[in-house]
Copies of this chain bind each other. A is one copy, B any other.
Amino acid sequence: MNFVKESVNQTPIVDTVFSIVAKAKEAKAKVGSENVVDATIGSLYDEEGTLVALDSVYSSLKNLDNKVLAAYAASFRGNPDFRQKVYDWVLNGNSHLEHEVIATPGGTGAVGMTLQECLDEGQTVILPEIAWGSYVLMAQMHNLNVEKYSLFEKDHFNLNSFKTACKKVMEKQNRLVMVINDPCHNPTGYSLSEEEWKEVISFLNECSKTHAVVLLNDIAYIDFSSRQEKAKEYFAQFDQIEKNFVVIVAFSLSKSMTSYGLRCGAAIVLGQEKEAVNQVKIVFEKDARATWSNINNGAMATFVDVLDNHKDAYDQERLHYVNLLKERGDIFVKEANEVGLKHYPYKEGFFVTLSMDNETRDKFHEALMENNIFTVKVNLGIRVAICSLSVEKTKGLAKKMKDILDTVA
């Protein structure tokens, strides 16, 4: 009995988040919220422990005509005004390349579509060693092999490891597809410097002399960078890409608009030549139509309305939380450094990740839970979701964790 295709892996997903979220909830019911540190949830929460849903966004959505919410989008690629607005908002004047935008269900849709359509079965995608779990699942679902690059060399991006991974894959296939999740890498909070991006592009340009290059740049958290507009300046480096090289920027409204539930994002395809960008656009449009048909029309209309008519209110609200996130991050990192709790080089973003081998991680994670501190295990580390942790709960947490770590390590 087999109702699914032979070529699909039937092993169920091992859940590392929902079960821990549930345990944290149980603990709160048992000993009281005030005695539990719940650093599991990967969405932005305010200081009162409530999910942030920006007023500027949801008042815009709720003011839309019902018919706008009800209607199909104008195109399988998304509404034209949405596509233009995404391009303008994300690139912020920093890019001069040929471009096309395809609306997708969140950033997931843009990343998944790229892995599905840019590599044939049996080929290899290059992924960061510490990463959002869905990348590996996507590779598995499309029967791709994975080559991983180590993220850090001391406190900097490990360009050598990145190069080694690319060279290894180039020996096997004629196209290079890699994911760089930057800025605000999930889950370490690292952001490449301008110089690091320059070196990455320069190296990939070399590769493009013999291999087609598709760089998937996942920018899910970009609008919560503490550098704001400055965090978008690295896009100018992409102007240097050669002809045999396209960049696909995976943008998500989930974080930018605090609208995880609306399922809206975009793939922005950038290249030197119209023909290259058009090739990707055609295939992505077909994939979209055959997979989800079109994208949440109200979410697209809201994005356009917020940026056209409520931008000041939106900026003000968002910046409040950008600053709050920075405050939490600064506290945690400062205290961690003071007590010698090792972490990956955090610069900005929703998560800080403590660095350790996986054996220590497993023991530590258990011990933390015994002390009512709930976190999520990632490869080679423990993810601390400062995005959902109040300043008050953040204070003193690093020392508590270090003390617990000392009992198991």
Contact = CB atoms under 8 A, between A and B. Distances in A.
B43 A58 contact: no
A283 interface: yes
Contact of A70 (B70, B106, B261, B279): B261
A71 B260 contact: yes
A112 to B, nearest CB: 5
Interface string A1-44: 11111111110110000100000000000000000000000010
Contacts of A8: 117, 283
Nearest to A287: B141
Interface stretch (A148-156, A157-165, A293-301, A368-376): A293-301
Interface string A114-138: 0011111101000000000010011
Nearest to A74: B18
A173 to B, nearest CB: 10
Contacts of A282: 10, 12
B3 A260 contact: no
Contact of A289 (B66, B72, B116, B137): B137
* Copies of this protein, total: 2
Contact of A290 (B71, B112, B292, B293): B112
Given A3-B212, A293-B105, A43 B72 contact: yes
A377 interface: no
A201 B103 CA distance: 40
Given A105-B263, A106-B293, A259-B69, A13 B279 contact: no
A72 B5 CA distance: 29
Q: Name the residue among A66, A214, A276 with the largest chain B CB count within 10 angstroms.
A: A66
A408 interface: no
A3 B212 CA distance: 6
Contacts of A259: 69-70
B4 A117 contact: yes
Contacts of A262: 69-70, 296-298
Contacts of A69: 53, 58, 61, 259, 261-262
A176 to B, nearest CB: 10
Given A1-B276, A120-B5, A290 B138 contact: yes
A73 B62 CA distance: 20
A66 B260 CA distance: 12
A285 interface: yes
Given A51-B67, A289-B13, A276 B3 contact: yes
A407 interface: no
Q: Name the residue among A43, A108, A212, A295 with the largest chain B CB count within 10 angstroms.
A: A108
Nearest to A291: B112
Interface string A175-190: 1000000000000000
A167 interface: no
A246 interface: yes
Given A3-B280, A263-B105, A287-B141, A258 B53 contact: no
21 contacts: A1-B276, A2-B279, A3-B214, A3-B276, A4-B279, A4-B283, A8-B283, A10-B279, A10-B282, A50-B67, A51-B67, A53-B66, A68-B261, A71-B260, A72-B254, A108-B292, A109-B292, A121-B121, A261-B298, A262-B297, A263-B293
- The 10 A-B residue pairs whose C-beta atoms are closest, nearest first, are A261-B297, A53-B70, A108-B293, A53-B66, A58-B66, A105-B292, A5-B120, A141-B290, A72-B260, A138-B290
